[in-house]
Amino acid sequence: MRENNSLSFFMKVTYLFNSGFVVELEKHILIFDYFKGAIDHLDPHKKVYVFSSHRHEDHYNPDIFNFKHPSITYILSDDIDHDGFKVKPHQTYHIDDLSIKTLLSTDEGVAFVVNVENKTIYHAGDLNWWNWEGEPQDFLDDQERIFKQEINSIKDIHFDIMMIPLDIRLENHASDGMNYILSHMKPHYVFPMHCFSHHKEMSQLLNLPPLNQYSIFKIEKRHQIWTLN
């Protein structure tokens, strides 16, 4: 993530692992849900903001506090036991020149809506329609209700980037959450996540209805990079 002034008007997105992404803008670097993966260089001329949506070990790793950078801010769900800027669901926060809206997760913690540099970015954390086979119906009803309630609250926002779970462990219901979002919203760029190492299986799912009607980036490997307008 070395500075290149000729690309200053681009966004650069790097996939780390599972739900971890780095979004680099002209003046800011946003790191979402770091779990594992190498981050070799953080441009010292840009401000770094590290977001952790909740305490689960596949979304949060205390190694984030070892990142080396002269200007780094940690934005943490309030279930994480560490110093940082703590956030709760259904709040709006202003940190430097970032505006951050939080949603209630259907699991733990929050989802993030971040506005910075005239870009609006969504990272779901574990906010998803977790339609697990075999779970009690009242649990499944709550999952659907809360998920739709939270997504409906942001459906009028235009998103430049949305990072949305597509977890193949849900089997026939893996695409329920992503399809609901994309049938109600038209984000510019969409990244699937929460796939662990199942990149091939997730790509196959994107080729099938209903998701094959949308333009969604396919993740093929760790540290995959996209340069976007």
102-134 pLDDT tens trace: 999 999 999 999 999 999 999 999 999 999 999
Q: What is the pLDDT of residues 191-207, one digit of tens each?
A: 999 999 999 999 999 99
Q: What's the pTM?
A: 0.95
Of the chain, the end-to-end C-alpha distance in Å amounts to: 16
Total length of the chain: 229
Structure tokens given for 227: 């340069």
- Determine phi and psi for 79, rounding to 5 degrees: -90, 0
Confidence of residue 40 (pLDDT cuts 50, 70, 90): confident
| Mutual angle of helices 137-152 and 176-184, in 10-degree steps | 30
Q: Token pair 């919203």 is at which residue?
A: 185
